[in-house]
Amino acid sequence: MQITRRHLSLAAGMAAAVALTAGALIASTAQAAPATGTPAPAFSGVTSAGETISLADFAGRTVVMEWTNDGCPFVKKHYTAPPSNMQTLQKSAAADDVVWISVISSAEGEQGYADAARANELTASRGAAPAHVVLDAEGTIGRLYGAKTTPHMFIITPDGNLAYDGAIDSKSSAKVADIDTATNYVTAALADLEAGKPVATPVTKPYGCSVKYK
Amino acid sequence: MIRIYRALMLALAGFGLFAFMALAQSPDDARRAEAELISERTSVLPGETVFIALRMTMDPGWHIYWRNAGDAGLPPQLILKETASIADEALGEMMWPLPKLLPVVDGEIMDYGYDDEAVFALALTVPADAAGEVRIEAVADYLICEAVCIPETADVSLVLAVGEPAENVPAGDLIGAWIAKVPGPFEGEARIDDAAAPWTLSLSLAGGFPQGAGVRFFPFEHEISHPADQPQRVGPSGASLLLTPDRAGKVGEALEGIIRVDAPGAEPVGYVIRAERGEVFDGTADTAFVPVAGAGEVAGLSWQGLLSLAGFAFLGGLILNLMPCVLPVLSMKALGMVSAAAGGHAGELRAHGLWYTSGVLVSFGVLALVILAVRQATGFATLGFQLQHAPTVAVLVLIMFAVGLWLMGFFELGASITNTGSGLAGRGGAMGAFFTGVLAAVVGAPCVGPFLGAALGAVMSQPAPAVVAVFLAMGFGMALPFLVLSFVPVLHRLLPKPGKWMNTLKQFFAFPMFLTAAWLLSVLADLAGAGAVGWTLAGATAIGFAVWIGREAGLMRRGAAIAALIAAFALPAVQANVPAPRTGGEPSVPAYAEAAWSPAQVDALLAEGRPVFVDFTASWCASCQVNKLTTLDTKRVKAAFEAADVAFLVADFTQKDPVIADELKRRGRAGVPMYLWYPAGAREPEILPELLTQELVIGLVEGR
């Protein structure tokens, strides 16, 4: 009966594989991402401080969302100190009463995954200053916004419209040296909003590592 | 418990072997790819243009990107260092071979790139004042990803002597082979209808795309959603694709990119397209079409990808039960089950079903390992390879024929050479069931090639465990109907009662066998020509002779039968190994006369007053491949040649040829490429530049 037992389990394995395939095919229906100029999708999530925040909490304030993954070389590029590009942006946002939300959509076991303790530790060790770090290991918020890369930046106006969707700057590279010569789209968009103008470059192609979704 | 433990140990040992193989392939350094610069020449002349290339060899599972990386990733770059003896302008643009789809998250994130190996050719214009040597020192700067991404840099360098040109044949071959994979100009027209989402990309091509070809569009920019499916429609004059625009996607002046065409049984081909706004061409969107194998050949399978592939393989296995060359074996098995069911032995039937399943699985496992071994040995294998090897096909014809004779009842199987197949299968009990499974798989294999070769082509570039998994899934699909039958007693009652009809049925199944043999003969005719078909039919006759003379006992008769059998299989196999004389050549292509070059031939043609174009080429000459791709092999140029009645002569220098060498020398050239143009009535040719353009050649031909 040795063969019997082995093949029974093999049969079960194969059946499971087929079932999983069907499931995966059904589950993988693409979602439409929001367009700039339209209301940003409402979300709520749990932060590394244990609070539950939602987009509605920040009505009347400009919100920046930053998709991040500390293991990704493109994210590292912008957190490298000096020049501490991302940290500087976060601090100047805070100074201008802009709400900066870092979102971690890496699934558990994937690169960049962080629980609350690790997320706080990362913020401290890198000298980062986001208002909140949202833990999105299920990828719900990431998929809602259509976040594709780390970093991938979104800016939401005080009245809740999506104003910017795209890359952090104009040089798609993982080299720190390129930060200096690149145009920072987030700085530019925030300046436009501050000046009460529409964002000149509302959409760019984000660059970086793929978001490590579940 | 001990048995489970043993099974576990076996599985672990297998896994360890794969892990070891993976390790053995890793380069020594810490990088995930090896980068090197290669050149088609070891020495060059000042002022000439030759091809060099950046060759990247990736660790298994890691990939690099196309010029448009898709949703994430970065294309590789070659950056000259200050220490290089040439300026940036001396190097042309990197040439991007046809990429694969790299789905990161199915339906959400899609990248475009390469796994395993990629060779990026660049034209090098040797400075006119170069002396001594040309020193190319550069940095290959690339992002390489598996689940995670790592930016890497590698110092690469290449030193070419300046002086009497000398080829580097292996490198030239490699560069030429990869240049052939660079998408060439599209011979048809492309239009984009972006009035509403989804957009329609309409591709009009005289004669349409090859039968069953899947087409996928890869944009140069990001106008469209990369992960979205591109539903395909086809018609007599081409194909069209529905493209989902990216959220901010707009078509500027035109939509530019490449299309990748995956036709069944052919290497994928790419074409550069530029689609201006316009209405969908007539005859390009008549019927919906789902390619058998997904266009774009998915690389670096995700688990989801592997599972769905295994799912398709499983379905393929199920369908395999309906194939004419499996059905007869199944019928043999069904006959066995009829008697077991009649005896009321439910437990025995179950064991039967499991043994049959294991027989099929073992055979598919062995087939997978054999294919992996062949792939390892040759560097390439497709599932249809059985059917591309003429001796194998010849032997398969004879086996089909012999099985047909046996089904007909012309002979009974004794303890002769066939006992490994049907003899064992015919036995009752566990061994009989096991070998019926083996036989079902072995006989079914020739059906797998034509029907599932395309789907399995995708898995061939996958790591060994994926190949094995897919094959096992297929085997399981094939065995499942019987397994179910043997486990669900209710279904047993549906089994027909034993009777005389069984023999009739058995005889009937001889006809699918003969038909399969006839089809295989036609395959053989393509592969090895009429001679091999004749020898194979003679072999079939010898089998008939062996059956006839071996019917009665006697040492002499037995000896003669065995001798005839040996001859029946050996002679066709040997004769089929001669490649087919390619009479007729490629039927569709040469509109203009293409002939081998010789000085006498040129004189004769000139005497006729015809213009002559001579292509001095070689397989290892990368520049030659570029010219072929961009100019000589294009419809426009061929049409111009035909219109002007140009005789197109090829001097193939792949093997050193003293006559060609003399001619090259006489024209002051040390090697190929060399293009000679004799206008009508001319005695002496014009020597054309090493890099041709369509405009240049057409201009010459039309006398402009």
DSSP letters for B332-379: HHHHHHHHHHHTT-HHHHHHHHHHHHHHHHHHHHHHHHHHHHHHHHHS
And the tokens for B10?
């076996």
How far is the alpha carbon of A204 from chain B, nearest alpha carbon, in Å?
9
Judged against a pLDDT cut of 90, whether residue A168 lies above it is answered with: yes
Cβ-contact A172, A185 below 8 angstroms: no
For A66-124, the pLDDT digits (tens) are 999 999 999 999 999 889 999 999 999 999 999 999 999 999 999 999 999 999 999 99
The answer to whether the peptide bond before residue A82 is cis (omega within 30 degrees of 0) is yes
- Mutation test of the interface with chain B: which of A2, A5, A6, choosing the one with the most B Cβ atoms within 10 A? A6
Please list every residue in chain A whose beta carbon sits closer than 8 Å to the beta carbon of residue B360: none
d(CA B681, CA B606): 6
The residue among A197, A212, A89 whose CA lies nearest residue A153 is A89
Cβ-count burial B200-230 (b if 16+ within 10 Å, e if not): bbbbbbeebbeebbbbbbbbbebbbbbbbeb
* Structural domain span for residue A96: 37-210
Element spanning B287, H or E: strand B287-289
Residue A48 lies in a domain: yes
- Chain B positions contacting chain A at CB under 8 Å are 3-4, 7, 71-74, 104-109, 111, 143, 145, 147-151, 222, 225, 227-228, 247-248, 304, 307-308, 310-311, 314, 350-351, 354-355, 357-358, 361, 472-473, 476, 483
Task: Give the residues across from A164 on adjacent strands.
Answer: A155
Query: CB–CB of B624/B176 below 8 Å?
Result: yes
Whether omega for the bond prior to residue B268 falls within 30 degrees of 0, making it cis, is no
Residues B59-81 pLDDT 10s: 988 999 999 999 888 999 999 99
> Which pLDDT score is estimated for B499?
55
Q: Nearest-CA distance from A95 to chain B in Å?
A: 31
Tell whether A18 is covered by a domain. no
Pairwise CB contact (< 8 Å): B107 & A143? no
- Amino acid, res. B114: Y
Given this model, what pLDDT does residue A87 score?
96
**Residue A124 covered by a domain:** yes
**Is residue B94 classed exposed, middle or buried when 0-12, 13-18 and 19+ CB atoms within 10 A define those classes?**
middle
CA distance A202 to A154: 10
Residue A5 located in a structural domain: no
A199-213, B168-182, B221-235, B557-571: least confidently modelled range:
B557-571
| Structural domain count of chain A | 1
Strand partners for B698: none
If pLDDT is split at 50, 70 and 90, which confidence band does B340 have?
low
Task: Label residue B341 by pLDDT band (50, 70, 90).
Answer: low
- What digits encode the pLDDT tens for the residues B388-446? 567 767 877 887 788 778 777 787 654 333 333 444 444 556 677 777 777 766 655 54
Beta carbons of B478 and B326 less than 8 angstroms apart = yes
Q: Half-sphere exposure of residue B676, counting CA atoms within 13 Å on the CB side?
A: 27
Chain A positions touching B7 (Cβ under 8 A) are 2, 6
Q: With respect to residue A72, please indicate whether it lies within any of the assigned structural domains.
A: yes
Close Cβ partners of B694 (under 8 Å, ≥ 6 residues apart): B630, B631, B634, B636, B637
Mark yes or no for CB contact B225/A202 under 8 Å: no
Contact B74/A172, CB-based, under 8 Å?
yes
User: What are A14-33's pLDDT values in tens digits?
Assistant: 333 333 333 333 333 334 56
- CATH number of the domain where residue A59 is located: 3.40.30.10
- What ipTM describes this predicted complex? 0.72
Tokens of A47: 């932060």
Determine the distance from the C-alpha atom of residue B556 to the mean position of all C-alpha atoms in its chain, rounded to a whole number.
49
pLDDT at B518: 84
Residue B527 has what pLDDT? 66
Tokens standing for B115? Answer: 């796994």
Residue B34 pLDDT grade (very low, low, confident, very high; cuts 50, 70, 90): very high
B contacts of A29 (beta carbons < 8 Å): 107
3-class DSSP state of B490: helix
Average pLDDT over residues B334-342: 64
Q: What is the model's pLDDT at position B491?
A: 61
Position A133 in a domain: yes
- Who contacts A169 (Cβ-Cβ below 8 Å, separation ≥6)? A179, A182, A183, A184, A185, A186
Contact B197, B221 (CB under 8 A): no
Smallest Cβ–Cβ distance between A21 and the set B73, B247, B311 belongs to B311
> Going from the N-terminus, what domains does chain B have, and what CATH number goes with each?
21-179 (2.60.40.1250), 184-289 (2.60.40), 303-576 (no CATH), 594-701 (3.40.30.10)
Locate tokens 């098995």: which residue? B333
Q: Tell me, yes or no, whether A25 lies in a domain.
A: no
| Contact yes or no for B147/A212 (Cβ under 8 A) | yes
Residue B580 burial (C-beta neighbours within 10 Å; 0-12, 13-18, 19+): middle
B506-555 confidence digits (pLDDT tens): 677 678 778 878 877 877 776 677 888 888 899 999 888 888 887 777 77
Collect all residues of chain A within an 8 Å Cβ-Cβ radius of residue B145. 209-210
Pairwise CB contact (< 8 Å): A71 & B148: yes
Return d(Cα B208, Cα B188) in angstroms, integer.
9
Using a CB-CB cut-off of 8 Å, the residues of chain B touching A210 are 71-73, 104-105, 109, 111, 145, 149
- Give the span between the Cα atoms of A164 and A173, in whole angstroms: 20
The C-alpha of A4 sits at a distance from chain B's nearest C-alpha, in angstroms, of 6
Task: Quickly state the pLDDT bin for B331 (edges 50, 70, 90).
Answer: low
Q: What pTM value is reported for the model? A: 0.57
pLDDT value of position B27:
40
**CB–CB contact B354 A172 (8 Å):** no
- Compute the radius of gyration of chain B from its Cα atoms: 30
Q: Please indicate whether, in this complex, the C-beta atoms of A213 and B105 are within 8 angstroms of each other.
A: yes
- The secondary structure of residue B387, as a DSSP letter, is G
Report the pLDDT averaged over residues A40-66.
94
- C-beta separation of B215 from B289 below 8 A: no
What SS3 string covers B438-473? Answer: HHHHHHHHHHHHHHHHHHHHHHHCCCHHHHHHHHHH
User: In terms of DSSP H, where are the helices of B128-273?
Assistant: 169-179
pLDDT digits (tens, 9 = 90+) for B118-139: 999 999 999 999 889 999 999 9
Cα–Cα distance between B162 and B132 in angstroms, integer? 5
User: Among all chains, which residue has been given the structure tokens 């015919």?
Assistant: B426
DSSP β-ladder status, B238-243 and B199-204: antiparallel
Is A82 within the bounds of a domain?
Answer: yes
3-class DSSP assignment, residue B233: strand
Instruction: Judge contact between B104 and B303, C-beta under 8 A.
Output: no
Predicted confidence at residue B598, as pLDDT, reads 87
Cα separations in angstroms, A5 against A1, A160, B3, B350, B351: 6, 60, 9, 12, 11
- Quick: pLDDT tens for B446-498: 444 434 443 454 455 566 777 788 888 888 887 887 788 777 656 655 555 55
Q: For residue B314, give the H/E element and its range.
A: helix B303-320
- Assigned token pair, B116: 């395993």
% of chain B residues with pLDDT over 70 = 74
Cross-chain Cβ contact A2/B3 below 8 Å:
yes
Residue B261 φ then ψ, to 5°: -110, 115
